[in-house]
Amino acid sequence: MPYLEESYDAAVVGAGHAGCEAALACARLGLETILFTVSVDSIALMPCNPNIGGSSKGHLVRELDALGGEMGKNIDKTFIQSKMLNESKGPAVHSLRAQADKQDYTREMRKTLENTEHLTIRQAEVSEIIVEDGKLTGVKTFSGAVYHVKAAVLCTGTYLRARCIYGDVSNPTGPNGLQAANHLTDSLKAHGIEMFRFKTGTPARVDKRSIDFSRMEEQFGDKRVVPFSFSTDPESIQKEQASCWLTYTNEETHQIIRDNLDRSPLFSGAIEGTGPRYCPSIEDKVVKFPDKNRHQVFVEPEGLSTNEMYLGGMSSSLPEDVQYAMYRTVPGLEHVRIVRNAYAIEYDCINALQLDASLEFKKIKGLFSGGQFNGSSGYEEAAVQGFMAGVNAAMEILGREPVILDRSQAYIGVLIDDLVTKENHEPYRMMTSRAEYRLLLRQDNADLRLRKIGYEIGLISEEEYQHLLWKEKAIEEEVQRLEQVHIGTGEAVQDFLTQHNSTLLKSGITLAELVKRPELDYFMLTVLDKDRPALPEDVQEQVNINIKYEGYLKRQMQQVAQFKKLENKKIPADFDYSTVNSLRKEAVQKLNQLKPLNIGQASRISGVSPADISVLLVHLEQMRHGHRQKTTV
């Protein structure tokens, strides 16, 4: 008889970026939720880079906000610099990135959690899951207390059996010296869950007073800051911003690294975990790109009330003395003093192929998971998974349908589909190149794509939803107006076109046709458009993109229609692929292991060929028309 027993609707294990979103989703949907963390001081901790967003990650944060998540609002309250990346390129790759004051970020998220109804925060290490007849019924802490729940979300991040390593120093701790969680892995394995061992790394933090910034390029934020959250009033966040700095490694840096590779735990084999290909350590870069004579180093403030500076681009696990030697070869860091050493961390996570698209374990009903624990890397990737896992745990408890976003609806859909369908043997990092429909999945229209879904879930307010409906109507009406307003060949028009090196008009034209011209856009045509209504920036942006890229958008929507055809070809959950003649052995094995929801997902499983898909399509078609016996396991 456990000495302490409590009951809740849902439990969330981990208060990192994934756990915070999962817990808020469950509690805001009215479920009594308990949130566990090994240290309440590490709530929403940013143990690595001091920024939120960036290429494709900014898309994830905006999609999360559109659905009703918290990260976007939290960074709008705590950023110290903000920049829209890739503005010189097309809107599909525009991506917001904001430097956070890390301490403020944690403090604000903790405040939000502590003031959320139905949410209980508990500092305790969960050491076991309790499963009865394939159903999750509770969790147990290392102290022996039992918490009975209807569903649980595991978001343990980089803490499970964590080990921090630099040189031949190895500490069995979590990030920043926090306690590791050393007991849950065994319980998960005992329930047949396959675990992986991954690793990631971080650079040193150095003392600002020991840096010579005159030897670096100052990097400024945008003059006009665009908020991450669609609920943030842009006027409320225009403020003075901190700077970041750019410098470079050089041949001397690289030589020191080459001379000490034998002392690197990465190359000596002391690190067994698999690291992220797209977040390589500096020693990885020097070895993999020997011809590059310099690598960028972004020197970023960790916050306004600390002198700690983050050396982005130089994460490492080399010994301390080598860290000093290599950092001091970098212009501006010649006299640098290290506050925290660079280090690598290895930790246990799962093979995400064990999850279905709702992030529920196929083997254990009521057990969901999100974040780094699922084999991803990054605050943003973690937050969106935590949110979706939390929402789907809540949907299951409330007896509602799971919420699954597909690859044509959101980067979140691409991320989760890649994790649960494709074999990931290293930490998965989101990139725009992973999203085949990226012209439609832009960061600027995340609310138009997803806010309605957030409203139907119950995490978007009536007011926010009504604003969305107003925005949709305003965009549509303005596009229609521009398609109807004709411009003549008057002197003012011709002068304007001349000024902008645009072809002069031989006859009248609509404003919309002018917007389409590569050298012109909606914003520039204000001078020719006397009756233009006063519209908010975000509406103007949509009008400009919808007209300018109309052709590309239409083509992509046709591709999506093709994609949907295969996604809508559902496959019975208990279908036995071994009964389909002429399906190749490897395909049968993979399909029976992964149990794809539909033909589209089946076609993305590695080892399943287009020929296998054709065979399957014919078989399912015949089954639908009763020509074949329904074959179940």
Ligand X SMILES: Cc1cc2nc3c(=O)[nH]c(=O)nc-3n(C[C@H](O)[C@H](O)[C@H](O)COP(=O)(O)OP(=O)(O)OC[C@H]3O[C@@H](n4cnc5c(N)ncnc54)[C@H](O)[C@@H]3O)c2cc1C
Q: Which residues bind ligand X (CB under 6 A)?
A: 13-19, 36-39, 42, 45, 47-48, 125-126, 155-160, 175, 181, 184, 200-202, 279, 315, 345, 371-373, 377-379, 382, 429
DSSP state of 528: G
Q: How far is the CB of 158 from ligand X (least distance, A)?
A: 4
Between CA 10 and CA 148 the distance in angstroms is 9
Distance, CA of 68 to chain centre: 15
Nearest to ligand X of 46, 543 (CB atom):
46
Nearest to ligand X of 76, 125 (CB atom):
125
Which helix (H) or strand (E) covers residue 200, if one does? strand 195-202
H and E: helices and strands count for the chain = 20, 24
Between CA 64 and CA 76 the distance in angstroms is 14
Q: How far is the CB of 379 from ligand X (least distance, A)?
A: 5
Sequence letter at residue 215: R
Nearest to ligand X of 231, 315 (CB atom):
315
Q: How far is the CB of 376 from ligand X (least distance, A)?
A: 7
Strands 10-13 and 151-154 turn out to be parallel
Sign of CA dihedral 109, 101, 43, 344: positive
Nearest to ligand X of 108, 521 (CB atom):
108
Nearest to ligand X of 187, 243 (CB atom):
187
Could you tell me which residues come within 8 angstroms of residue 339 by beta carbon, excluding any fewer than 6 positions away? 204, 205, 206, 207, 307, 308
DSSP state of 359: S
Q: How far is the CB of 449 from ligand X (least distance, A)?
A: 24
Q: How far is the CB of 49 from ligand X (least distance, A)?
A: 6
Contacts 24+ apart (CB under 8 A), 360-365: 360/389, 360/392, 360/393, 360/396, 360/402, 361/193, 362/595, 363/134, 363/191, 363/192, 363/193, 364/129, 364/131, 364/134, 364/135, 364/136, 364/191, 364/193, 365/134, 365/135, 365/136, 365/396
Between CA 323 and CA 317 the distance in angstroms is 8
Nearest to ligand X of 47, 331 (CB atom):
47
Q: How far is the CB of 312 from ligand X (least distance, A)?
A: 9
Q: How far is the CB of 133 from ligand X (least distance, A)?
A: 24
Q: How far is the CB of 631 from ligand X (least distance, A)?
A: 40
Q: How far is the CB of 154 from ligand X (least distance, A)?
A: 8
Nearest to ligand X of 157, 366 (CB atom):
157
Between CA 56 and CA 540 the distance in angstroms is 23
Nearest to ligand X of 386, 596 (CB atom):
386
Nearest to ligand X of 389, 599 (CB atom):
389
Nearest to ligand X of 332, 427 (CB atom):
427
Between CA 586 and CA 168 the distance in angstroms is 42
Nearest to ligand X of 73, 590 (CB atom):
73
Between CA 371 and CA 158 the distance in angstroms is 9
Q: How far is the CB of 428 from ligand X (least distance, A)?
A: 10
Tell me whether residue 220 is exposed, middle or buried, using C-beta atoms within 10 angstroms of its C-beta: 0 to 12, 13 to 18, 19 or more: exposed
Between CA 198 and CA 327 the distance in angstroms is 26
Between CA 196 and CA 354 the distance in angstroms is 12
Between CA 337 and CA 254 the distance in angstroms is 20
**Residue 150 forms beta bridges with which residues?**
none
Distance, CA of 616 to chain centre: 33
Q: How far is the CB of 385 from ligand X (least distance, A)?
A: 8
Nearest to ligand X of 91, 319 (CB atom):
319
Neighbours of 615 (CB within 10 A): 17
Structure tokens at 259: 């001379």
Q: How far is the CB of 432 from ligand X (least distance, A)?
A: 15
Q: How far is the CB of 19 from ligand X (least distance, A)?
A: 5
Nearest to ligand X of 77, 429 (CB atom):
429
Nearest to ligand X of 41, 334 (CB atom):
41
Answer for the pair 333, 327: CB distance below 8 angstroms, yes or no.
yes
Q: What are phi and psi of 162, to 5 degrees?
A: -65, 150
Between CA 485 and CA 477 the distance in angstroms is 12
Q: How far is the CB of 320 from ligand X (least distance, A)?
A: 16
